[in-house]
Structure 1
Protein backbone atom coordinates (compact mmCIF):
# COMPACT_ATOMS: atom_id res chain seq x y z
CA UNK A 1 0.00 0.00 0.00
CA UNK A 2 1.39 3.33 -1.03
CA UNK A 3 1.21 6.48 1.05
CA UNK A 4 -1.14 8.25 -1.37
CA UNK A 5 -3.59 5.36 -1.23
CA UNK A 6 -3.86 5.76 2.53
CA UNK A 7 -4.49 9.52 2.38
CA UNK A 8 -8.14 10.26 1.93
CA UNK A 9 -9.17 13.05 -0.44
CA UNK A 10 -10.33 15.93 1.71
CA UNK A 11 -12.18 17.99 -0.88
CA UNK A 12 -11.72 21.60 -1.84
CA UNK A 13 -11.43 23.01 1.70
CA UNK A 14 -9.28 20.16 2.94
CA UNK A 15 -5.94 21.32 1.64
CA UNK A 16 -4.48 24.73 2.39
CA UNK A 17 -2.42 24.77 -0.80
CA UNK A 18 -5.44 23.90 -2.94
CA UNK A 19 -7.12 26.96 -1.45
CA UNK A 20 -4.03 29.12 -2.12
CA UNK A 21 -3.94 27.97 -5.75
CA UNK A 22 -7.66 28.63 -6.14
CA UNK A 23 -7.27 32.20 -4.86
CA UNK A 24 -4.24 32.74 -7.07
CA UNK A 25 -6.15 31.65 -10.18
CA UNK A 26 -9.18 33.69 -9.13
CA UNK A 27 -6.92 36.75 -8.82
CA UNK A 28 -5.33 36.12 -12.22
CA UNK A 29 -8.75 35.70 -13.82
CA UNK A 30 -10.06 38.89 -12.19
CA UNK A 31 -6.96 40.81 -13.29
CA UNK A 32 -7.43 39.52 -16.84
CA UNK A 33 -11.07 40.65 -16.86
CA UNK A 34 -10.06 44.11 -15.65
CA UNK A 35 -7.44 44.36 -18.40
CA UNK A 36 -9.92 43.08 -20.99
CA UNK A 37 -12.57 45.64 -20.06
CA UNK A 38 -9.95 48.40 -19.99
CA UNK A 39 -8.83 47.42 -23.49
CA UNK A 40 -12.38 47.27 -24.85
CA UNK A 41 -13.19 50.63 -23.25
CA UNK A 42 -10.04 52.12 -24.76
CA UNK A 43 -10.88 50.72 -28.19
CA UNK A 44 -14.24 52.46 -28.24
CA UNK A 45 -12.81 55.64 -26.69
CA UNK A 46 -10.24 55.99 -29.49
CA UNK A 47 -11.80 58.12 -32.25
CA UNK A 48 -8.74 57.91 -34.49
CA UNK A 49 -8.94 54.13 -34.90
CA UNK A 50 -11.25 52.98 -37.70
CA UNK A 51 -14.13 50.62 -37.12
CA UNK A 52 -12.40 47.83 -39.02
CA UNK A 53 -9.34 47.95 -36.78
CA UNK A 54 -11.58 47.93 -33.74
CA UNK A 55 -13.32 44.83 -35.11
CA UNK A 56 -9.96 43.14 -35.75
CA UNK A 57 -8.81 43.84 -32.18
CA UNK A 58 -12.12 42.52 -30.78
CA UNK A 59 -11.89 39.39 -32.97
CA UNK A 60 -8.41 38.59 -31.71
CA UNK A 61 -9.41 39.39 -28.11
CA UNK A 62 -12.16 36.78 -28.40
CA UNK A 63 -10.15 34.00 -30.06
CA UNK A 64 -6.62 34.66 -28.71
CA UNK A 65 -7.39 36.59 -25.54
CA UNK A 66 -4.23 36.61 -23.44
CA UNK A 67 -1.67 37.10 -26.19
CA UNK A 68 -3.81 39.79 -27.85
CA UNK A 69 -4.25 41.61 -24.54
CA UNK A 70 -0.50 41.58 -23.97
CA UNK A 71 0.20 42.81 -27.50
CA UNK A 72 -2.41 45.56 -27.15
CA UNK A 73 -0.98 46.73 -23.82
CA UNK A 74 2.54 46.85 -25.25
CA UNK A 75 1.62 48.41 -28.61
CA UNK A 76 -1.03 50.90 -27.46
CA UNK A 77 -0.46 51.21 -23.70
CA UNK A 78 0.89 54.77 -23.86
CA UNK A 79 -2.08 55.89 -25.91
CA UNK A 80 -4.40 54.21 -23.42
CA UNK A 81 -3.04 56.40 -20.64
CA UNK A 82 -3.40 59.55 -22.73
CA UNK A 83 -6.97 58.75 -23.79
CA UNK A 84 -7.89 57.88 -20.21
CA UNK A 85 -6.45 61.17 -18.95
CA UNK A 86 -8.29 63.11 -21.69
CA UNK A 87 -11.56 61.37 -20.80
CA UNK A 88 -11.07 62.16 -17.10
CA UNK A 89 -10.32 65.80 -17.93
CA UNK A 90 -13.41 65.99 -20.14
CA UNK A 91 -15.59 64.47 -17.41
CA UNK A 92 -14.15 66.94 -14.88
CA UNK A 93 -14.85 69.92 -17.16
CA UNK A 94 -18.40 68.73 -17.81
CA UNK A 95 -18.97 68.22 -14.09
CA UNK A 96 -17.60 71.70 -13.27
CA UNK A 97 -19.81 73.26 -15.95
CA UNK A 98 -22.86 71.42 -14.60
CA UNK A 99 -22.10 72.48 -11.03
CA UNK A 100 -21.78 76.10 -12.16
CA UNK A 101 -25.12 75.99 -13.95
CA UNK A 102 -26.85 74.40 -10.96
CA UNK A 103 -25.21 76.63 -8.37
CA UNK A 104 -26.01 79.80 -10.27
CA UNK A 105 -23.73 82.29 -11.91
CA UNK A 106 -21.17 81.97 -9.15
CA UNK A 107 -20.78 85.73 -8.82
CA UNK A 108 -20.62 87.56 -5.53
CA UNK A 109 -23.52 89.65 -4.16
CA UNK A 110 -21.70 92.86 -5.07
CA UNK A 111 -21.43 91.72 -8.70
CA UNK A 112 -25.13 90.84 -8.75
CA UNK A 113 -26.02 94.27 -7.34
CA UNK A 114 -23.76 95.96 -9.91
CA UNK A 115 -25.49 94.06 -12.73
CA UNK A 116 -28.88 95.03 -11.37
CA UNK A 117 -27.75 98.69 -11.11
CA UNK A 118 -26.67 98.67 -14.78
CA UNK A 119 -30.06 97.26 -15.74
CA UNK A 120 -31.73 100.01 -13.71
CA UNK A 121 -29.56 102.71 -15.29
CA UNK A 122 -30.33 101.33 -18.77
CA UNK A 123 -34.03 101.47 -17.97
CA UNK A 124 -34.47 97.72 -18.43
CA UNK A 125 -35.89 97.22 -14.94
CA UNK A 126 -37.90 99.40 -12.59
CA UNK A 127 -36.63 100.67 -9.21
CA UNK A 128 -38.84 98.14 -7.40
CA UNK A 129 -37.37 95.31 -9.46
CA UNK A 130 -33.89 96.65 -8.66
CA UNK A 131 -34.66 96.59 -4.95
CA UNK A 132 -35.98 93.01 -5.27
CA UNK A 133 -32.81 91.88 -7.09
CA UNK A 134 -30.66 93.70 -4.55
CA UNK A 135 -32.37 92.06 -1.58
CA UNK A 136 -32.17 88.66 -3.29
CA UNK A 137 -28.41 89.10 -3.91
CA UNK A 138 -27.84 90.17 -0.31
CA UNK A 139 -29.86 87.20 0.95
CA UNK A 140 -27.61 84.84 -1.01
CA UNK A 141 -30.13 83.35 -3.31
Structure 2
Protein backbone atom coordinates (compact mmCIF):
# COMPACT_ATOMS: atom_id res chain seq x y z
CA UNK A 1 0.00 0.00 0.00
CA UNK A 2 2.87 2.38 0.73
CA UNK A 3 4.25 2.07 -2.77
CA UNK A 4 0.84 2.60 -4.38
CA UNK A 5 0.14 5.96 -2.70
CA UNK A 6 3.37 7.62 -1.53
CA UNK A 7 1.66 10.95 -0.79
CA UNK A 8 -0.89 9.22 1.45
CA UNK A 9 1.96 7.50 3.27
CA UNK A 10 3.68 10.84 3.88
CA UNK A 11 0.41 12.33 5.09
CA UNK A 12 -0.18 9.45 7.52
CA UNK A 13 3.36 9.72 8.89
CA UNK A 14 2.85 13.45 9.41
CA UNK A 15 -0.47 12.80 11.13
CA UNK A 16 1.09 10.23 13.46
CA UNK A 17 3.96 12.60 14.22
CA UNK A 18 1.52 15.42 15.00
CA UNK A 19 -0.48 13.14 17.32
CA UNK A 20 2.73 12.06 19.06
CA UNK A 21 3.83 15.67 19.62
CA UNK A 22 0.33 16.54 20.86
CA UNK A 23 0.43 13.59 23.27
CA UNK A 24 3.85 14.61 24.64
CA UNK A 25 2.62 18.18 25.13
CA UNK A 26 -0.50 16.98 26.96
CA UNK A 27 1.56 14.63 29.13
CA UNK A 28 3.98 17.40 30.18
CA UNK A 29 1.10 19.81 30.79
CA UNK A 30 -0.66 17.37 33.10
CA UNK A 31 2.51 16.43 35.01
CA UNK A 32 3.35 20.13 35.42
CA UNK A 33 -0.15 20.80 36.72
CA UNK A 34 0.15 17.95 39.22
CA UNK A 35 3.23 19.54 40.76
CA UNK A 36 1.79 23.07 40.51
CA UNK A 37 -1.31 22.14 42.51
CA UNK A 38 -1.12 23.49 46.02
CA UNK A 39 -4.31 21.75 47.07
CA UNK A 40 -2.81 18.27 46.55
CA UNK A 41 -0.81 16.64 49.32
CA UNK A 42 2.50 14.97 48.69
CA UNK A 43 0.81 11.58 48.56
CA UNK A 44 -1.77 12.91 46.12
CA UNK A 45 0.95 14.21 43.83
CA UNK A 46 2.81 10.91 44.09
CA UNK A 47 -0.37 8.96 43.32
CA UNK A 48 -1.25 11.02 40.26
CA UNK A 49 2.34 10.88 39.00
CA UNK A 50 2.46 7.10 39.45
CA UNK A 51 -0.88 6.71 37.67
CA UNK A 52 0.36 8.85 34.78
CA UNK A 53 3.67 6.99 34.49
CA UNK A 54 2.30 3.43 34.92
CA UNK A 55 -0.82 3.80 32.77
CA UNK A 56 -0.24 6.98 30.75
CA UNK A 57 -3.42 7.09 28.67
CA UNK A 58 -5.77 6.14 31.51
CA UNK A 59 -3.87 8.29 34.03
CA UNK A 60 -3.95 11.42 31.89
CA UNK A 61 -7.61 10.95 30.96
CA UNK A 62 -8.54 10.33 34.61
CA UNK A 63 -6.65 13.44 35.71
CA UNK A 64 -8.35 15.56 33.06
CA UNK A 65 -11.75 14.25 34.08
CA UNK A 66 -11.23 14.60 37.84
CA UNK A 67 -9.10 17.76 38.06
CA UNK A 68 -9.14 19.28 34.57
CA UNK A 69 -11.74 21.92 35.44
CA UNK A 70 -9.33 23.71 37.77
CA UNK A 71 -6.20 23.53 35.58
CA UNK A 72 -6.88 26.92 33.99
CA UNK A 73 -7.43 28.51 37.42
CA UNK A 74 -3.98 27.41 38.59
CA UNK A 75 -2.44 28.53 35.32
CA UNK A 76 -4.12 31.95 35.51
CA UNK A 77 -3.10 32.39 39.16
CA UNK A 78 0.54 31.66 38.34
CA UNK A 79 0.45 33.98 35.32
CA UNK A 80 -1.03 36.80 37.43
CA UNK A 81 1.63 36.30 40.10
CA UNK A 82 4.37 36.43 37.46
CA UNK A 83 2.84 39.59 35.95
CA UNK A 84 2.68 41.26 39.37
CA UNK A 85 6.30 40.37 40.03
CA UNK A 86 7.29 41.76 36.65
CA UNK A 87 5.41 45.03 37.31
CA UNK A 88 7.10 45.38 40.69
CA UNK A 89 10.51 44.85 39.13
CA UNK A 90 9.80 47.41 36.39
CA UNK A 91 8.66 49.96 38.97
CA UNK A 92 11.77 49.47 41.06
CA UNK A 93 14.02 49.65 37.99
CA UNK A 94 12.30 52.82 36.78
CA UNK A 95 13.40 54.62 39.93
CA UNK A 96 9.92 55.58 41.04
CA UNK A 97 10.23 57.91 44.04
CA UNK A 98 9.30 56.53 47.41
CA UNK A 99 6.18 57.59 49.30
CA UNK A 100 8.24 59.71 51.69
CA UNK A 101 9.89 61.53 48.77
CA UNK A 102 6.54 62.30 47.18
CA UNK A 103 5.10 63.56 50.47
CA UNK A 104 8.09 65.83 51.11
CA UNK A 105 7.79 67.21 47.57
CA UNK A 106 4.10 67.93 48.16
CA UNK A 107 4.90 69.62 51.49
CA UNK A 108 7.45 71.85 49.76
CA UNK A 109 4.89 72.82 47.12
CA UNK A 110 2.37 73.64 49.84
CA UNK A 111 4.93 75.60 51.84
CA UNK A 112 5.89 77.66 48.78
CA UNK A 113 2.22 78.38 47.99
CA UNK A 114 2.13 76.44 44.73
CA UNK A 115 -0.73 74.21 45.93
CA UNK A 116 -3.37 74.82 48.60
CA UNK A 117 -3.84 72.80 51.78
CA UNK A 118 -6.90 71.10 50.28
CA UNK A 119 -4.90 70.01 47.21
CA UNK A 120 -2.10 68.82 49.49
CA UNK A 121 -4.51 66.67 51.51
CA UNK A 122 -6.14 65.26 48.35
CA UNK A 123 -2.78 64.32 46.81
CA UNK A 124 -1.53 62.91 50.11
CA UNK A 125 -4.59 60.65 50.26
CA UNK A 126 -3.87 59.43 46.72
CA UNK A 127 -0.23 58.68 47.57
CA UNK A 128 -1.05 56.85 50.79
CA UNK A 129 -3.88 54.83 49.24
The TM-score normalised by the length of structure 2 is 0.71
Distance 1:49 1:80 in 2: 13
Match of 2:18 in 1: 27
Q: Which residue of 1 aligns with 2:87?
A: 96
How do 1:72-83 and structure 2 match up within 5 A?
72-83=63-74
Q: Aligned pair in 2 of structure 1 residues 112, 102: CA closer, same or farther (>3 Å)? A: farther
1:42–1:80 CA contact under 8 A, matched in 2: yes
Query: What is the root-mean-square deviation of aligned Cα atoms in Å?
Result: 2.8
Q: Does 1:66 align with 2:57?
A: yes
Once superposed, which parts of structure 1, at least 4 consecutive aligned residues long, lie more than 4 Å away? none
Distance 1:65 1:77 in 2: 16
2:45 to 35, 54, 63: 54
Distance 1:116 1:72 in 2: 59
Offset, 1:79: 1.0
Structure-2 change in CA distance of 1:39 and 1:74 (3 Å): same
Q: How many residues are treated as equivalent by the alignment?
A: 107
Larger radius of gyration: 1
Distance of aligned partners of 1:106 and 1:40 in 2 relative to their CA distance in 1, 3 Å threshold: farther
Given candidates 35, 44, 55, the residue that maps to 1:44 is 35
Equivalent position of 1:15 in the other structure: 6
Q: Does 1:87 align with 2:44?
A: no
- Stretches of structure 2 lacking an aligned partner (at least 5 in a row): 110-129
